[in-house]
């Protein structure tokens, strides 16, 4: 039948559209990333769990996708991630590819995205930007990748796992005093923190040890 890509809240529980809520209510199958966040979302929205729930995450193999394609052929399926817009820096693109190969309709119910929230908070004029996303986890490779960022003259967007917040920010400060940073931590949540400061003046030690974040480097 179909696969619908549905955006879910990134911080505040009301970061969701009426269309997304309706999609979740009427879905015959919900494909989530992890069990706990999905069940919490359905509980917050007072939506009964559908009889059929599947999971797609970074551990899913190509063999795991084939049953999902068969499901999408027969039922109205909805794909969600733990938060925000699925597929972008999240699993899902392989499933979409296979659905299109099998002539299964794929559409999107757009909504919350940490990237778009951060860009909307920028005081720096934005005509273009480079999305670098996740840097390598290994220290030496990450520091080499950071030095490579110097060749970009447009703002650069970075994100990473919550527990790498301090490590990444400290490595970024090696770029020098020419850079500023727009840092969004726990965007739209009650404990949201937004900093727009010179990179070398960023008070890293005062920030949470672990938090959802996305940032923009510019000069």
Per-residue pLDDT, 91: 83
175/183 Cα distance (integer angstroms): 16
| C-alpha–C-alpha distance, residues 109 and 116, integer Å | 15
What does the pLDDT look like over 156-194, one tens digit per residue? 999 999 999 999 999 999 998 899 999 999 999 999 999
The pairing of strands 130-133 and 156-159 is parallel
Q: E strands, 151-207, where? A: 156-159, 180-185, 193-198
pLDDT (average), residues 94-122 = 96
As a whole number of angstroms, the distance between CA 179 and CA 124 comes to 12
Query: 2-109 belongs to which homologous superfamily?
Result: Tetrapyrrole methylase, N-terminal domain (3.40.1010.10)
Q: If DSSP codes are grouped into helix, strand and coil, which group holds residue 92?
A: coil
**pLDDT for the residue 82:** 93
**Hey, what are 12's tokens?**
């505040």
Model confidence at 89, pLDDT cuts 50, 70, 90, reads confident
Question: What DSSP designation does 177 have?
Answer: T
Domain with residues 114-218, CATH architecture: 2-Layer Sandwich (3.30)
Distance from C-alpha of 163 to C-alpha of 137, rounded to nearest angstrom? 11
Q: Where along the chain do its domains lie?
A: 2-109, 114-218
pLDDT, tens only, 39-63: 999 999 999 998 899 999 989 988 8
């Amino acid at each position: 039948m179909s696969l619908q890509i549905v955006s879910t809240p990134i911080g505040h529980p009301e970061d969701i559209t009426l269309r997304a809520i309706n999609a979740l209510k009427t879905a015959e199958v919900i494909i989530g990333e992890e069990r706990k966040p999905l069940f919490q979302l359905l509980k917050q929205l007072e939506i009964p769990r559908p009889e059929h729930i599947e999971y797609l995450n970074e551990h899913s193999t190509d063999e795991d996708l084939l049953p999902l394609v068969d499901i999408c052929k027969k039922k109205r399926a909805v794909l969600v991630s733990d938060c925000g817009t699925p597929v972008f820096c999240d699993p899902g693109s392989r499933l979409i590819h296979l659905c299109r190969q099998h002539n299964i309709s794929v559409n999107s119910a757009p909504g919350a995205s940490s990237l778009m929230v951060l860009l909307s908070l920028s005081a720096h004029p934005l005509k273009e930007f480079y999305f670098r996303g996740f840097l390598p986890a290994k220290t030496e490779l990450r520091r080499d990748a950071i030095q490579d960022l110097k060749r970009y003259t447009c703002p650069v967007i970075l994100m990473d796992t919550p527990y790498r917040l301090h490590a990444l920010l400290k490595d970024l400060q090696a770029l020098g005093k020419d850079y500023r940073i727009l840092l969004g931590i726990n965007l739209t949540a009650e404990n949201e923190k937004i900093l727009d400061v010179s990179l070398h003046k960023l008070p890293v030690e005062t920030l949470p040890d672990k938090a959802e974040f996305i940032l923009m480097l510019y000069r």
